[in-house]
Structure 1
Amino acid sequence: MVFTISTKVTSKIDTSYYLHHKKHLWNAIAIAYALGGYGSAIALILSNFWFNALGVVLLAHSLVISAYLSHEFMHGTIFAERKWNAVGGNIMLWLNGGCYARFKDLTQDHIAHHINRVDFASFDLQSWMHQLPVPIRRVTLALEWLHFPIVSFIFQWRSILAPFWEPRRHDEQKRLITILSIRSLLLIALALLSLKAVALYFLSYIGMITVLRFVDAFQHTYEAIPVGSPLPKRDYTYEQTNTFSNVISQRYWWLNLLLLNFGYHNAHHELMKCPWHSLHELDREVFTGEEVHYITLPELLGNYHRFRITRLFSDQGTAIDSQGNLQLETFYGAIGVSFLVKF
């Protein structure tokens, strides 16, 4: 696996600080929160009614943090050795449900997104939607209109079951059956303790998917390339022009820690080995803060709601007009959570 560093802007700064300076306490707190929050949330949703709401919120956020930690482990930013990043990544994937695909495969796919500067499409969503029987398509559209992420679940289950019908993934069948069996038994055990807890767990999981795909939707306007197709040549300018930093707040940088600084996406693409805890520093050093690529998540809430059906039948749209100005009216967004699903 090869990691590359842009020579356009990062050549002007001291990259060694971002590549080698680890804030171990920050990493420990994030990992402890994901694991401890998950365990505490399970206890809360098994408790009485007054603790259930807190449990749902804590579980959803713990799962979100576990997803973004999975992303950090894929980039090898937590530990110095690849094997320990793989261990940490597999643990986090087990929590958030991305464990059905192998960590190394998810990592390879995600790094390819960085190196090739494209989004990969496992299948043509628009054609698939049009081919659905009318009643099923109407139900699917109604659920998405209600902000139930049914298409994301379809993506996930399509990827999970792919080893049974994709020849190139047949070697994953035994592993998949084992994981499905273990997770099914754990779900049954939770149901025996409390059916209400199962419903609340599912509600939290929907919350995680909604947060992740809202953030993921507006970070790129790359073209989607079918897996296996010839790759177009894209340069640094294309990458940064079609990448957006959808932070929670530009003024109060610490609010972005709620999502492990994942919103500093231009900085992340500038130096993909920069750890999450230093992305706000890298962002300040590389950019002025006045670039057109900054769009806060509150600004994008309207687009996420307005184009919830449009994006099922279109590409991600455009966010920059011919004069180089931001135009949210045509920024439709993407569907799905790219780094948790095998292409």
Structure 2
Amino acid sequence: MATVAIDVNRYLHQKKPLWNTLAIAYTLVSYVGGIALLLQPNGWLNAVGVVFLTHSLLCSAYLAHDFMHSAIFESKAWNVAFGNLMLWLNGGCYARFEDLARLHIAHHVNRVDFCRFDLVTFLQAMPAPVRSLLLALEWLYFPALAFLLRLRSIIAPFWDEERKDERWRNTFTLLIRGGLFTLLAIVSPKALLLYFFAYIGMLTVLRFVDAFQHTYEVFPVGSEIPKRDRAHEQANTFSNVVSLRYRWLNLLLLNFGYHNAHHELMKCPWYSLPDLDRDLFNGDEVHYITLPALLGNYHRYRLSRLYSGQGHGVNDQGEHSLETFYGAIEVSFLVLPA
């Protein structure tokens, strides 16, 4: 666990606007440019477009995360405005930015994960053919459950009285986004199909990264939460970086893998997380597990993690225990549990 005193002001108030400008501009240009490339007749340009579109969607998700922490701008209003813009790109816009931010901050403060319903019980209550289809799609790496939970979140205001004030908002959002995708389909059905493929790519990467960052307990929203201390937080948090040797590779995911450092100082901006990580830790702590090392776990437990829980990344001797690290399922800061 980190015990080193750090200069908090260095990480909270020494902003680097150029880095933020480059990240936001890259995300927006790659999104628009990616769609433009999908519309081209050349297959190679289409492939490049899918890559850029997928990466722009990922960057929009991780930027939205920083906006939720008010880590980009000093002004809360600007963080909310740009956070909503990023959610519009990645499809998280069917929940209010403020509600997503509030739930995510609660994840930090309470050191647990939240849900509104038991996914396993929900699956078991389904007709067997539907459940088998969903699990078969998951086995084939199609994120069927991710789409299911997003659909539930979108329609939740229409059956959840606590969210009934969002009904008109979600209706207009559906009409606008539906109209834009219909227009894309009219112009180029191929482009719409490739956009969908890029979105699946974003979901897959987000799920993979989110699966192995915590071994927190999961509690229903609104239930009584036991107190968990900082030691518990760090012991159940993992830094699943892309690479420890080639740290620049972590920029591909805006340094989101430095998760122990992020939980130690949650308002630290994305570009300062590697420095914060170096200040806090020696680099040989057990919480470091690179994403390439977890590929096998993601594949092996893609269905069994539904029923076995997150497992344990560290054994009783304080050593890595990848064979028992199953990973979480459908834990996302972009979806309001419904």
Does TM, normalized by the shorter one, top 0.5? yes
How far residue 205 of structure 1 moved from its aligned partner, in angstroms, is 0.2
1:24-35 equivalences under 5 Å are: 24-35=17-28
1:94-109 equivalences under 5 Å are: 94-109=88-103
Measured in 2, the distance between the counterparts of 1:313 and 1:129 equals: 11
| CA distances 1:125-168 after superposition (whole Å, capped 9, x unpaired) | 11112111111111111100001000011111111110011110
* Residue of structure 1 in register with 2:6 after alignment: 13
* Residue of structure 1 in register with 2:29 after alignment: 36
1:180-329 equivalences under 5 Å are: 180-329=174-323
- Structure 1 stretches of 4+ moved >6 Å: none
Could you state the TM-score of these two structures normalised by the residue count of structure 2? 0.98
Measured in 2, the distance between the counterparts of 1:237 and 1:126 equals: 30
* Residue of structure 1 in register with 2:79 after alignment: 85
How far residue 70 of structure 1 moved from its aligned partner, in angstroms, is 0.3
SS at match of 2:114: strand
How far residue 54 of structure 1 moved from its aligned partner, in angstroms, is 0.5
1:223/1:315 contact within 8 Å kept: no
* Residue of structure 2 in register with 1:23 after alignment: 16
In structure 2, what residue type is equivalent to 1:32? A
1:72/1:276 contact within 8 Å kept: yes
Structure 2: tracts of 5 or more residues without a match: none
How far residue 192 of structure 1 moved from its aligned partner, in angstroms, is 0.8
* Residue of structure 2 in register with 1:166 after alignment: 160
SS at match of 1:338: coil
In structure 2, what residue type is equivalent to 1:304? Y
* Residue of structure 2 in register with 1:126 after alignment: 120
SS at match of 2:333: helix
How far residue 122 of structure 1 moved from its aligned partner, in angstroms, is 1.9
* Residue of structure 2 in register with 1:138 after alignment: 132
| CA distances 1:166-213 after superposition (whole Å, capped 9, x unpaired) | 110000001000000000100111011000011000000000000011
1:125/1:313 contact within 8 Å kept: no
Measured in 1, the distance between the counterparts of 2:19 and 2:3 equals: 27
1:217/1:335 contact within 8 Å kept: yes
* Residue of structure 1 in register with 2:173 after alignment: 179
In structure 1, what residue type is equivalent to 2:31? Y
How far residue 50 of structure 1 moved from its aligned partner, in angstroms, is 2.5
How far residue 337 of structure 1 moved from its aligned partner, in angstroms, is 4.4
How far residue 37 of structure 1 moved from its aligned partner, in angstroms, is 0.2
How far residue 23 of structure 1 moved from its aligned partner, in angstroms, is 1.1
| CA distances 1:189-247 after superposition (whole Å, capped 9, x unpaired) | 10110000110000000000000110000000001001111001100010000000000
The percent of aligned pairs where both chains have the same amino acid is: 62
In structure 2, what residue type is equivalent to 1:76? S
* Residue of structure 2 in register with 1:335 after alignment: 329
SS at match of 1:313: helix
Measured in 1, the distance between the counterparts of 2:136 and 2:302 equals: 11
* Residue of structure 2 in register with 1:3 after alignment: none
SS at match of 1:120: strand
Could you state the TM-score of these two structures normalised by the residue count of structure 1? 0.96
SS at match of 2:316: coil
